Structure 1
Amino acid sequence: MSGISVAFGGVAALSDVSLTVEPGQVHGLIGPNGAGKTTLFNVACGLVRPSAGRITWRGEELRRLKPSQLSTLGIARTLQGVGLFGGLSVLENVMVGAHRHARAGFVSALLALPTADKDDKVLRERAHQALVELGAESYADRYPGSLPYPVQKRVALARALVADPDLLLLDEPASGLAEDEMHELGELIRALSSRMSVLLVEHHMDLVMKVCDRITVLDSGEQIAAGTPAEVQADPKVTEAYLGDEVVETDAAELARTDGGRHV
């Protein structure tokens, strides 16, 4: 995304913000409340149309991007909440995310043709494997409303991963998680970078600093810093706007043993 600007009712929500997620990279997007993180995330998802700027994917500009285009482009996303369908089982919820891999068309499914049956079996297998990866396979037959919130978050993430995207957009995936669950999430995100890129919007700074290769910082709709976790932590503008002295002083030894968020 380059030169992105967004205004709501004459109020500037974003002003000339640029961000590039490289292949195999975990890119963090941080900033205080009202900084414009969610707006920029929604621009990337096609939910908000920028008043200025360009969105480019694999060298081609995406004009008038719509959320319905994401899966065919190889992009998957999660929401701040879980966004699960209460009337579907956990397995069925995850299967929804695998629809880009379906070969049978709507008519075949409607008429229950053999091709649709074969498709259903393949999608169920993909969904089950995604749940296994997230450690949630034991909940496959349950309904989301009966599950604890952290488990629902895992199911929502499995629904995004089952699409096998090239770019995964994560909006505050650590919200509502305990410390040990957050640690597991961090290990998962770092492992995912071997097969996809990740754009991570998150408030938990310890998680961001440990898993991200690069970080972009917003404040009041403007980009105030960008760089590696070490560079961002050392930036006085970031300290003043968001992190605070306490966070800047923590994990100094950890950062000394990392290179752009990767342990060495």
Structure 2
Amino acid sequence: MSELRLSNITVTFGGLTALQDVSLSVGPQQVHGVIGPNGAGKTTLFNVACGFIHPDSGEVVRNGQRIERLHPRDLPGLGIARTLQGLGLFDRMSVLDNVMVGADHHARSGFLGSLLALPRAGRDERALRERARRVLDELGVAAYAERYPPSLPYPIRKRVALARALVAEPDLLLLDEPASGLSAGEMDELGDLIRSLAETTSVLLVEHHMDLVMRVCDEITVLDFGRAIAHGTPDEVREDPAVLAAYLGEEVQ
């Protein structure tokens, strides 16, 4: 089982309420999308799920266990991996080494063992390198393994960032606007990839490209001014008057 539940999340910044009593859950092998107009609170909610922001009230529950004061460093141990809008790749490390960073917690010997050149450290490094190459191959970017991120087109760097998350073999993947900067064709490929990932991994997708969200998501939560105004399947959300009002500025009777 792989479940993430955010319950009654409220976040304030000074006198501004960024989120007000927002709840959602991501079930096993489910793609759950979060959408909304600019300033709706999508990024704040994503940051709560990642542990970057601690809510003023509400609960973060992972597989039935309430997580107190979640931090980004806790994610690997909880079977969670994430990608960020800014990619966060290391310019002076090869693509392969960048991806290996994402699997580092699998290494039993750790950083000290690598410094001391312990035999186990060598075995761990070889295993991680093989794992990283395999994931790069699965994402179609193995040919760039020895290249450096600044020399690569943006869509390739996006796949490298995704590979770094997937190499940790997470049960839950958090994706923050993965389609930004992609062409229509590249977005179609991304949609196919997300659906294939959902065969083994749950996905929380924060995105503003409606076509992609409607195509790949099983459930969608719509935010507007920090509140959840709709939740349901793509068809249900598409026909919700409150969603139309939020995006088109129409008054709901």
TM-score between both structures, scaled by the size of structure 1: 0.91
Change (3 A) 1:130 1:122: same
- Quote the residue 1:214 is aligned against: 219
1:225 matched to 2:248: no
Task: Map 1:114-263; keep pairs closer than 5 Å.
Answer: 114-242=119-247
Q: Give the Å deviation of 1:240.
A: 1.2
Which is worse superposed, 94-103 or 11-20? 94-103
Q: Any idea what SS the aligned residue of 1:153 has?
A: helix
What root-mean-square deviation, in Å, do the aligned CA atoms of Structure 1 and Structure 2 show? 1.1
Q: Which runs of 5+ in 1 are unaligned?
A: 246-264
TM-superposition CA deviations, 1:130-163 (whole Å, max 9, x none): 1011111000000001111111001000001111
The 1-side partners of 2:62 and 2:77 are apart by 12
1:41 matched to 2:49: no
The 2-side partners of 1:188 and 1:43 are apart by 25
- Quote the residue 2:68 is aligned against: 63
TM-superposition CA deviations, 1:27-75 (whole Å, max 9, x none): 0000000000000000000000000000000000000000000011100
The 1-side partners of 2:198 and 2:166 are apart by 12
Q: Give the Å deviation of 1:100.
A: 2.2
Q: Which runs of 5+ in 2 are unaligned?
A: 1-5
The 2-side partners of 1:190 and 1:82 are apart by 21
Kindly provide the amino acid, as one letter, of the partner of residue 5 in structure 1: T
Aligned pair count? 245
Change (3 A) 1:176 1:244: farther
Which is worse superposed, 83-92 or 101-110? 101-110
Misfit runs of 4+, over 3 Å: none
Q: Any idea what SS the aligned residue of 2:160 has?
A: helix
TM-score between both structures, scaled by the size of structure 2: 0.95
Identity in percent: 67
Q: Give the Å deviation of 1:243.
A: 6.4
Kindly provide the amino acid, as one letter, of the partner of residue 82 in structure 2: R
1:112 matched to 2:109: no
The 2-side partners of 1:242 and 1:62 are apart by 34
- Quote the residue 2:3 is aligned against: none
